[in-house]
Amino acid sequence: MIANLKWLIPAVAVGLPLTASAQVSDATYCRRLTARYEAFVENMNGHSVQPGSVEGQVAMEQCKAGNTAAGIPVLERKLQDAKISLPSHN
């Protein structure tokens, strides 16, 4: 049992920073998607301040709240459907 714990601690120590790094990357990507979606909606509406689709608004709010797993796929789909290139994911 103690031998198993000797391997668990280093694994957790290595895994935590990798997980945090992925979350930061997703948060950054979500912000990039949001910015691109907002620019698309602005251009689509002739620079008016109309919100776009409800689904897109919810996805942007999810990104802002940190729920990137829910926000990213919706924003990606919205942009791809509009034939707008996606931002880089790094």
User: pTM of the full predicted structure?
Assistant: 0.67
**pLDDT 10s digits, 21-42:** 555 599 999 999 999 998 887 6
- Domain ranges for the chain: 22-81
The list of the chain residues with pLDDT below 70 reads 1-24, 42, 44-52
pLDDT value of residue 10: 55
pLDDT at 24 (0 to 100): 58
CA dist 49 → 40, 65, 85, 90 (Å): 12, 22, 22, 30
Q: Are 70 and 62 in contact, with CB atoms under 8 Å apart? A: yes
